[in-house]
A and B are shown apart, each in its own frame.
Chain A
């Protein structure tokens, strides 16, 4: 009898924890990168660099809401476009260095609200040692503050950089 109750309990636990749980009513929980993409979409609006208010950044949606465009205006000008690819979250960075690295999200921690992207490939690289961005971390500090930490590489040496953005009201 005790074994039967344990067996039933185990079966129930497995059923609840299986990926299909909740799918019957269509409420499938989104994968973590879909959640991360939704978090990125909360950036839509006008921003400026904390240390340099003349450098402005806009976030807006395109592709029927499927792609988020991040645009640095002023100097330097550059654009990144974030979108899903199946269950993966990708970005292409149209860099002011004149090349276009593509990256894929490699971790998202909702508790620390930090999202990391790693290098996939790059177009228009003038030489293998030319500067190109290889990593990006997006740290959501609160609804009006976000930090972007880039890590590039030039001649085999890491080149870190960061930008703190504050929402314009």
Chain B
């Protein structure tokens, strides 16, 4: 009788520990992406694109909840970053004329990198048309950041990197 009770208590303790660690892991991941958005917000300001006449601005909107990244130049494009209940998302208003949405899948504060993967896309003219599917942001220092886009066109990967330097 006593042995059964002990077993039950032991099982309940193990289950509680598993539930708590799962909650803690989920919570840590949410906090991690909150921290990633906070690091993205440090980009607010004006930037030059290395080896390009384009410039980039970052500014906040939505009462500080949303970061707008805007490439100004011949064709122009914009990305909008924001949280979605623990996830970090972006919508990319591409110069290709479509709008992929992506979700952060990794954030490494030590390395200073955040990676986004494809969720879905609007206005894709056909399934094989060019659209961006991945983005990696590498924070090199407070005045240097690199954006690595990976797109897909007719089943082939298309990689494009932009190195940004903060304007003085």
Contacts and interface: CB of A to CB of B under 8 A. Distances in A.
Contact of B78 (A67, A90, A123, A126): A67
A48 interface: no
A69 B82 CA distance: 16
Nearest to B92: A63
A85 B76 contact: no
A135 interface: no
Interface of B: prevailing SS? strand
Given A62-B78, A67-B78, A85-B123, A77 B62 contact: yes
Nearest to B62: A94
Contact of B84 (A67, A71, A97, A123): A123
A96 B66 CA distance: 9
Contacts of A40: none
Size category, B interface: 20 to 34
Q: Which of A63, A69, A84, A86 has the most CB of B within 10 A?
A: A63
Contacts of A83: 93, 99, 122-123
Q: Which of B61, B84, B85 has the most CB of A within 10 A?
A: B61
A64 interface: yes
B95 interface: yes
Contacts of A123: 82, 84-85, 89
Interface in B84-114: 84-85, 89, 91, 93-99
Interface string B53-97: 000000011111110101100011110101111000101011111
A125 B86 CA distance: 11
Contacts of A71: 61
Given A79-B80, A94-B62, A94-B66, A63 B94 contact: yes
A98 B65 contact: yes
Nearest to B84: A123
A95 interface: yes
A81 B77 CA distance: 12
Interface of B: 60-66, 68, 70-71, 75-78, 80, 82-85, 89, 91, 93-99, 122-123
Given A63-B96, A65-B76, A81-B93, 9 more contacts: A62-B71, A63-B95, A64-B77, A66-B95, A67-B78, A78-B63, A79-B66, A81-B80, A94-B65
Closest 5 CB pairs of A and B: A96-B63, A66-B97, A85-B122, A123-B84, A64-B95
Interface of A: 61-67, 69, 71-72, 76-79, 81, 83-86, 90, 92, 94-98, 100, 123-126
